[in-house]
Amino acid sequence: MAQDPDLSTTIREAMISALAEVHTAIPAKVVEFSSGPPATVKVSIVLDYFHRGEGPDAEPVRFTLDQIDNVPVVFPGSGGYGSTFPISAGDFVLLVFCERSIADWLRNGGTGIAPTHRRRHSLSDAFALPGARPKTDDIPAAGHDADAYVVRVPAGKSIKLGQTATKGVNREGDDVLAGSSFAATMAAINTALTTLAGDPAITVVITPPPATPAGSVIGETGTGSSVVKADD
């Protein structure tokens, strides 16, 4: 006949059972991203859980938590300043679970809020912090610089400075390309000089400049930024 557990064992088992419902922080993989506003992700927690089987000799039972929808994304920023970037399915985030319900605060903001829900450390009260990554996908050494703040973007992508920025930023020494208006002006000058060169009354030798189509290199930037640097 099995003996009843002693008091210390009962207390320990109760604590283990209670802690199983306390969520703090855990990595997760992004399933979907919505830029919003507000920006949210649907995530799948990457680590499995275990719960005790029935009976004193039962093996732990392994299980996977359901996906979590509408998790707010915490992008860096404050005081009207901030930076955002696309988040793709398959990216990793760190989920941080708040100790009180954040539903009322998310909806209304403010301070001194008495949460409607009494839940604590719940899966429903998570924030997602982008940038969590395993060692197999860590930032390479080339992505670090002891003397610079490094911003990395995938090949073919760009950095946008300003919410409605449309113009590019030249670096010192970058090529300067002819725009359409410059090309049109040079074409008009070329036509005028060609006409003068054909006038028999003009004895000075006139050599019209070559055509300068839009997009051709006409020089280099001498006063571009020497602080903001970027790979070619």
From the CB of residue 95, how many other CB atoms can be counted at a distance below 10 Å? 22
Q: Smallest Cα–Cα separation from 227: which of 163, 149, 161, 143?
A: 149
Residues 191, 85 within the same domain: no
Instruction: Answer yes or no: is 169 within a domain.
Output: no
Q: Smallest Cα–Cα separation from 178: which of 211, 135, 222?
A: 211
CATH number at residue 58: 2.40.50.230
Instruction: Answer yes or no: is 65 within a domain.
Output: yes
Instruction: Answer yes or no: is 206 within a domain.
Output: yes
Instruction: Answer yes or no: is 105 within a domain.
Output: yes
Residues 20, 129 within the same domain: yes
Give the pLDDT of residue 75: 94
Q: In percent, how much of the chain has pLDDT > 90?
A: 28
Q: Report the C-alpha gap between 231 and 186 in whole angstroms.
A: 32
Residues 126, 26 within the same domain: yes
| Structure confidence by residue, pLDDT tens digits, 30-88 | 999 999 889 999 999 998 887 766 666 667 778 888 899 999 999 998 888 888 899 99
Residues 190, 112 within the same domain: no
Torsion of CA 87, 88, 94, 100, to 10 degrees: 70
Give the pLDDT of residue 56: 64
Residues 135, 22 within the same domain: yes
Full residue range of the structural domain in which residue 208 is found: 175-215
Give the pLDDT of residue 1: 46
Residues 139, 48 within the same domain: yes
Residues 130, 182 within the same domain: no
Predicted confidence band of residue 155 (pLDDT cuts 50, 70, 90)? confident
Q: Is the pTM of this model over 0.75?
A: no
Residues 36, 90 within the same domain: yes
| Structure confidence by residue, pLDDT tens digits, 187-199 | 888 888 888 877 7
Q: Where is average pLDDT lowest: 15-19, 22-26, 92-96?
A: 15-19
Instruction: Answer yes or no: is 191 within a domain.
Output: yes
User: What is the tally of structural domains in the chain?
Assistant: 2
Give the pLDDT of residue 7: 83
- Residue 140 per-residue DSSP state: P
More confident residue, 122 or 162: 122
Which neighbouring-strand residues pair with 177?
Answer: 217
More confident residue, 143 or 130: 130
Instruction: Answer yes or no: is 228 within a domain.
Output: no
Q: Does residue 92 register a pLDDT over 90?
A: yes
Instruction: Answer yes or no: is 166 within a domain.
Output: no
Residues 27, 100 within the same domain: yes
With beta carbons less than 8 A apart as the criterion, state whether 129 and 94 touch: yes
Sequential DSSP letters for 198-220: T-TT--S---PPPP--TT-EEEE
Q: Report the C-alpha gap between 52 and 17 in whole angstroms.
A: 9
Rg, Å, the chain Cα set:
32
Instruction: Answer yes or no: is 68 within a domain.
Output: yes
Q: Does residue 163 register a pLDDT over 60?
A: yes
Residues 90, 35 within the same domain: yes
What values do phi and psi take at 135, rounded to 5? -60, -30
